[in-house]
Amino acid sequence: MNKIMVTEASLPNFEKYCEKIKLVWDNHWLTNNGILHNELTEKIKEYLKIDNITLFTNGHLSLEMGLQLMNFPRGSEVITTPFTFVSTTHAIARNGLIPVFCDINPDDYTMDVKKIESLITDKTVAIMPVHVYGHVCDVEAIEKIAKCHNLKVIYDAAHAFGVTYKGKSVASYGDLSMFSFHATKVFNTIEGGALVYSNPEYSETLNQLKNFGITDYERVDYIGGNAKMNEFQAAMGLCNLEELNDNITKRRKLVELYNELLSTINGIKFNEIQENVVSNYAYYPIVVLDEYGLNRDELYELLKTYNIYSRKYFYPISNEFECYKNCKGLTPIAKDISERVITLPLYSNLGEENVRKICKVIERRQ
């Protein structure tokens, strides 16, 4: 029996990719702002309809260096969500900052904006919300709170490439937005990431930070790292960008089928697309309620017996990990959702037959 994995990397036509990387053999330019890197930069700007972007070797270093760019005093507090991949929290801590956890709302699993202000102290310097599964945070409420308290807003938008809210890319909100181009994402550059930002003056510093802090051949002004996207990654991105809209359309049709088939199963909750949002259909999360008859872990194991591999995502939440257990913030809703949520397989080549098979197993509960 063939395995149905929770995700599958989108790959372009093999010959198309080989043709794209032929330039690398022609010019021997493998990294350090190569021709393909620069082409991808401009193509993403065009796709997202934004003005400022810096590419990185992965999403985590994008976020870490975005925080470094802000030059917050060590020991400052950043309000964030525990319902995310631990990379979000690590980026805060590795900058010498303190994560403060805000609970999520139970409808779309993004930060509960009604609980942010109670967490603000004289040490708070920023809010770092997460667009989860492609669901968009309440960007307008967050912007209002940030302006009122003079805070920066840095979005972890790892799941949200290509998502729009009220006709604008989610990258248009906040001071910074980080996108992940990891192999598991809707748009991938094998590994990769980017920062999108409103202030064009950030560009020069970010380019220096991702290149060891080097300002010119004989001068280093920052304690930087090595986070440059290479030409093979950029080539993959250029090829995949051409096929992205088609892949999102395929994902949308599969999500619609999931919704139709699961709507008749008592105890399974799935998410509708948010109002004014055009989704990228990045993930398909369901929450297993008590009335279903099996708990989340039992369903997870049941699916595995049919060679269907789902994911407990996100579980555990960040403030359940040993290194963050002592951080401030009570998050009972995030904890409850993390113990009930499971993401089902979703990728452009999954096929309707496999979606029907998955839903049949869920329906039968055996």
Per residue in 333-349, pLDDT tens?
A: 999 999 999 999 999 99
Does the predicted TM-score (pTM) go above 0.85?
yes
pLDDT reported for residue 100: 98
CATH 3.30.70.2470 for the 14-238 domain, yes or no: no
| Alpha-carbon span 281 to 255, nearest angstrom | 7
pLDDT range class, residue 1, cuts 50, 70, 90: low
Which residue, among 133, 7, 131, 127, has the nearest Cα to 67 in the 3D structure? 127
Q: How many CA atoms lie within 13 A of 94 on its CB side?
A: 16
pLDDT reported for residue 13: 96
Q: Average pLDDT, stretch 309-330?
A: 96
DSSP state letter for 108 = T
- Three-state secondary-structure class, residue 150: coil
| Alpha-carbon span 98 to 31, nearest angstrom | 34
Asked if the model's pLDDT at residue 63 lies above 90, the reply is yes
Residues of the chain within CATH 3.40.640.10 domain(s) are 14-238
Per residue in 5-19, pLDDT tens?
A: 999 999 999 999 999
Per residue in 260-303, pLDDT tens?
A: 999 999 999 999 889 999 999 999 999 999 999 999 999 999 99
Q: Average pLDDT, stretch 63-72?
A: 98
Give the mean pLDDT of the chain: 97
**Which architecture characterizes domain 243-364 according to CATH?**
Alpha-Beta Complex (3.90)
Q: Token pair of 232, please?
A: 């093979």
pLDDT range class, residue 365, cuts 50, 70, 90: confident
| Residue % of the chain over a pLDDT of 70 | 100
Residues of the chain within CATH 3.90.1150.10 domain(s) are 243-364
Q: Token pair of 9, please?
A: 């990397």
Contacts of residue 204, Cβ cutoff 8 Å, sequence gap at least 6: none
pLDDT reported for residue 244: 98
Name all contacts of 71-77 with Cβ < 8 Å and 24+ positions apart. Answer: 72/97, 72/125, 72/126, 73/125, 75/123, 76/123, 76/124, 76/125, 76/126, 77/121, 77/123, 77/124, 77/125, 77/328
Per residue in 73-128, pLDDT tens?
A: 999 999 999 999 999 999 999 999 999 999 999 999 999 999 999 999 999 999 99
Per residue in 122-148, pLDDT tens?
A: 999 999 999 999 999 999 999 999 999
DSSP state letter for 342 = E
pLDDT reported for residue 273: 87
Per residue in 172-211, pLDDT tens?
A: 999 999 999 999 999 999 999 999 999 999 999 999 999 9
